[in-house]
Structure 1
Amino acid sequence: MLSRTADHLFWMARYTERAENTARMLDVNLQTSLLPQSAEDAEKGWRAMLGISELQAAYDYKYPLLNAKDVLNFMVRDPDNPSSIAACLTAARENARAVRGTLTTEVWETQNATWLDMQKRLDGGLLERDPSQFFEWVKYRSHLSRGVTIGTMLKDEAIHFIRLGTFLERADNTARILDVKFHAAKDNGQSEEMTPRDFYYWAALLRSVSAFEIYRKVYRDVITPERVAELLILRGDMPRSLLACMDEVVSNLREVRNDASADTERLAGKLQADLQFSHIEEVLAHGLHDTLSQFLERIFELGKRISRDFLVPIAV
């Protein structure tokens, strides 16, 4: 496959997944901001979310004050934010348009319809009226895109590059969501004894990654931060966990390997093995923030190497 074609497929999937994960992160922050808390704590939550997305400086440059309305606008529709949901869905559509001949008609029409429908919903004021409904729509369209891709495309190199983009982006975003929410919990001084507020806090986090029902099925007990971390980092049977994502990355890398990709496969395999053979006690002893920060650094390096070996290299 031509590297430019692989590049478009890879980034189409990454941008679609990024839009979904941004919607998930905004939705959980919106829900937790409605819990009883001071205005200062609510602001900390929004500021932490911008920080973990590495967008704090860009936001501060454009907006003099930090409030939920401006953060939502910045993260959803602001044309100056290349990581906004609108920018991501537009980029996904443009990458799909560039390789329409590689995609099935159903995949292209799903991407195009998502972009058209997004314009109507934003122009119609859905974000202002009911932001949670808009975020649910973004998640639904992402699910639809993945389902149509898996259900209609030939299982050749094209779909492997699409899956690579999806799971690399998902791993990055799951780590970021975990990091921002555990940081917020620490800053808010949550005690080891769970309170009703703590329960809603962690339940909202689990729902943000579609893991609330899975948590209940796996643990059948009260929600604790340690088990939330274990589920979203080390459980290979949890679809959005870091280990599950790395399992998929390694598997799809194996299918598209070339003469230059041995070191990239080795890096991905080491990262997968570190997760597969870790215990949550070791992760917590090392420090959850440090563990997640190192994971994000290694994922970033893995993405650069995949671009170098298979795609159009990222300009540095």
Structure 2
Amino acid sequence: MLSRTAADLYWMSRYLERAENLARMLDVSYSLSLMPQDDRGGGKDELAMPLLITGTMDDYLSRHGQMQPERMLNFFALDADNPASIYRCLQAARGNAHAVRGRITADIWENINATWLEMRSIAQEGLGRYGISRFCEWVKERSHLFRGATYGTIMRGEAYSFIRLGTFIERADNTLRLLDARYEMLGEEAEEVSDSSARGYYQWSALLRALSSFEAYNELYRDSPSARLVSELLLLRAEAPRSLRSCTEELNSILAELPGDNGRPAQRLAAELDARLRYTAIDEILDGGLHAWLTDFILLIRQLARAIHSSYLEVV
């Protein structure tokens, strides 16, 4: 497969996964900002969370001056000038899909194109008529439809592999960043494991819901959500589809099946990351500091993305 084609397929799925992740992030931050607040932060901290996670705080403040709920939501949802907005992600995904229409099925193309056309309509009407929760659910639904069309209609060849690579690289990075941000938000309270902290319970529960892992948590654990158990689920439990372990297993499997010798650096690093998670216990992570571990692994995922790019996606 040509590197340019592989890159378009890879980034098509990355942008669609990123749009879904942004919708999940916005939905949980907005919901928590509406809850009664104490003197340790409040709604403004919650509204700032997406800006901090995506590194767009300075851009937002330079354009809008202060934190304001409607402006922040519009900045991430519909702002065509914000490279990190859902609008721009869906626009980029549609552009990549258009470039490789001959390598994807009609079902995939029609899903992505229809999503972009409806996105443009929503942008014209504004969020006031749609509502942020309904909008976020719509984004997630369109992403689910894309994955369903991909899984159900495309041949199991290289095109399918590069689409899945984009999905799991983006998902792994998002899970790490959301867990790190929530842990930092709670501060010392993140270390509490008792049921007495209502704030901690709602924060961890919101994170689990944002990653569609609340039901998985209740099935695997009996205790109330805590830093230790939530981290174990989202980092080390392969049963959870959005966990880091699940993502690295998929990445390792996909890369190992790609033909040729060019991908050995990426294949080796993916295997190393998968083995590291397979043989790590949550207490080892917490003993060394969860924030430090997450920061280190975010860099490793970024390194793997660069290795994939240099091995398969660079145009030579």
Q: TM-score range by the shorter chain?
A: over 0.9
In 2, the alpha carbon distance for the partners of 1:183 and 1:16 equals 27
In structure 2, distance between residues paired with 1:156 and 1:9: 12
Contact 2:23 2:140 in 1 (8 A): yes
Partner residue of 2:66? 65
Aligned to 1:117: 118
Deviation at 1:118, TM superposition (A): 1.4
Distance change >3 Å, CA 41–CA 163, structure 1 → 2: same
Offset, 1:128: 5.7
Q: Deviations over 1:61-83 (max 9, x none)?
A: 21210122222111111122111
Counterpart amino acid of 2:269? L
1:240–1:47 distance in 2 versus 1, CA, 3 Å: same
1:155 aligns with 2:156: yes
**1:29 paired residue number:** 29
Structure 2 residue 198 is the aligned partner of structure 1 residue 196: yes
Q: Is 1:13 aligned to 2:13, yes or no?
A: yes
Q: Counterparts of 2:199 and 2:74 in 1: how far apart (Å)?
A: 27
Q: Name the CA distance, whole Å, in 1 between partners of 2:15 and 2:251.
A: 16
Distance 2:91 2:108 in 1: 15
Tell me which residue corresponds to 2:43: 42
Distance 1:234 1:286 in 2: 16
CA contact (8 A) 2:171 2:247 kept: yes
Indicate if the aligned counterparts of 2:74 and 2:127 stay in contact, CA closer than 8 A: no
CA RMSD of aligned residues (A): 1.8
Using the TM superposition, name which of 116-125 and 222-231 deviates more: 116-125
Q: Alignment length, in residue pairs? A: 314
Q: CA deviation at 1:236?
A: 0.7
Between the aligned partners of 2:128 and 2:189, the Cα distance in structure 1 is 28
Q: Tell me the TM-score normalised to structure 1 length.
A: 0.94
Compare 202-211 and 188-197 and name the one that shifted more.
188-197
Is 1:100 aligned with 2:101? yes
The C-alpha deviation readout for 1:19-70, integer Å capped at 9, x for no partner, is 0000001111111112211584322223343122111222122121012222
Number of the residue aligned with 1:165: 166
Q: Distance in 2 between matches of 1:174 and 1:23?
A: 13
User: Is the CA contact 1:49–1:180 (under 8 Å) kept in the aligned structure 2?
Assistant: no
Distance 1:213 1:234, change over 3 A: same
Runs of at least 4 residues off by over 6 Å: 187-190
The residue number in structure 2 matching 1:282 is 284
User: Distance between the aligned counterparts of 1:231 and 1:127, measured in 2?
Assistant: 36
Output the CA distance in 2 between the equivalents of 1:182 and 1:241.
Answer: 16
* 1:213 pairs with 2:215: yes
TM-score (norm 2): 0.94
> In 2, are the aligned partners of 1:8 and 1:98 still within 8 Å (CA)?
yes
Task: Determine the C-alpha separation between the residues in 1 that align with 2:66 and 2:180.
Answer: 24
- In 2, distance between residues paired with 1:38 and 1:161? 46
Give the structure 1 partner of residue 56 of structure 2: 55
Secondary structure of residue in 2 paired with 1:238: coil
Letter in 1 for 2:126: G
Question: Residue 196 of structure 1: CA displacement?
Answer: 3.0
What runs of 5+ residues in structure 1 fail to find an aligned partner? none
C-alpha separation in 1, matches of 2:19 and 2:189: 28
Q: Between 266-275 and 43-52, report the one with greater CA deviation.
A: 43-52
Secondary structure of the residue aligned to 1:65 is: coil
| Counterpart contact for 1:127–1:134, Cα < 8 Å | no
Output the CA distance in 2 between the equivalents of 1:283 and 1:190: 13
Aligned sequence identity (%): 45
> C-alpha distance in 2, partners of 1:127/1:202?
29
SS of residue paired to 1:80: coil
Matched with 2:137 is 136
| Residue identity matched to 2:34 | L
Matched to 1:200, the amino acid is Y
- The 1-side partners of 2:290 and 2:205 are apart by 19
Tell me: CA distance 1:96–1:281, structure 2 relative to 1, closer, same or farther (3 Å).
same
CA distance in 2, matches of 1:128, 1:69: 13
How far did residue 129 of structure 1 move? 4.8
Amino acid in structure 2 at the alignment position of 1:102: R
Give the secondary structure class of the aligned counterpart of 1:31.
helix
Distance 1:284 1:25 in 2: 24
